[in-house]
Amino acid sequence: MLRRLACRRGDVVGVFLMVSTFLNPFAARAGTDAPPLPAAPDGRPLALVFSDDFQTFRPWTGNDGVWRATLGDRLQFGRDRRSMPGGEDEIAHAVDPVIGRLDAFAIDRGVLEITAQPAPTNGMPGTGDYPYVSGLISTQPSFSQTYGYFEMRAELPQGKGLWPAFWMLPTDESWPPEIDIVESIGDPSHVYMTAHSKFGRTAGVEADITPNTFHTFSVSWDAQQLIWYIDGGEAGRVATPEDMHKPMYLLANLAVGGTWPGVPDASTRFPAKLMIDYIRAYRFDL
């Protein structure tokens, strides 16, 4: 079934091509640590350039490590951002890897769990007076690349107001462009894959998948096109926008609230978890 859907994220209106299909309903749950791919689904050889299988969590320390727990440093985006600004209206504060009992990051048998939960009512320092706390990881200080194949194997959470995402932003701090490799808004059986650009309208695809299990979400990005995959099957493609030819870095997070997903209600169960088995990046080895 194909249809067109208008969807607003912030101030950008997107036009999506929807693909209704259940992809690989028998995907294994956790801890598989599948070997790196020798080739993309379209046959192009790949060379692995970044990989984290989350046997441990490696926070960026300023000199080494991998993951920054914010949207940028105090230079990136102008300040140490812990929630999307402006029209997004998120209501969760991204906490540091260790903040008392509110650590949003845990490793369980090779799976990173990013946890969202209500903020304590006693006003614990570091929560930014937000009603919820959660976590974000970014390779902004440690890895970026122009073009390639990027993948995350993860299980998405369910619940109104939850907004898990795996995405990419440019290192030069411009916006757009942005590549959303996968997002969902409360319903893990329905996912969005999007290219944001300042040239023309935002474009992407949607897909229906089996919920409550692990899937591998990927994008192939080159100078001509973006192709999204779920469990190795193509979900859709668009032409690469004119402003998407520069280095970009990886982010994964579990946001709460916002103009798109809405706010949690009584049906939303906390703590909620985005569970990530691995994140990998490849270059085309041509």
Alpha carbon distance 176, 165 (integer Å): 17
Q: Under a CB-based contact definition with an 8 Å cutoff, are residues 205 and 235 in contact?
A: yes
Q: Under a CB-based contact definition with an 8 Å cutoff, are residues 42 and 30 in contact?
A: no
Alpha carbon distance 130, 90 (integer Å): 9
Q: Does 183 participate in catalysis according to the annotation?
A: yes
CA distance to 8, 62, 126, per residue, from 82 (Å) = 22, 17, 10
User: Residue 220: which H helix or E strand, with range?
Assistant: strand 215-221
DSSP SS3 for 170: strand
Alpha carbon distance 228, 217 (integer Å): 8
Annotated catalytic residue within 88, 113, 155, 178: 178
Annotated catalytic residue within 90, 183, 206, 234: 183
Q: Does 234 participate in catalysis according to the annotation?
A: no
Active site residues: 178, 183
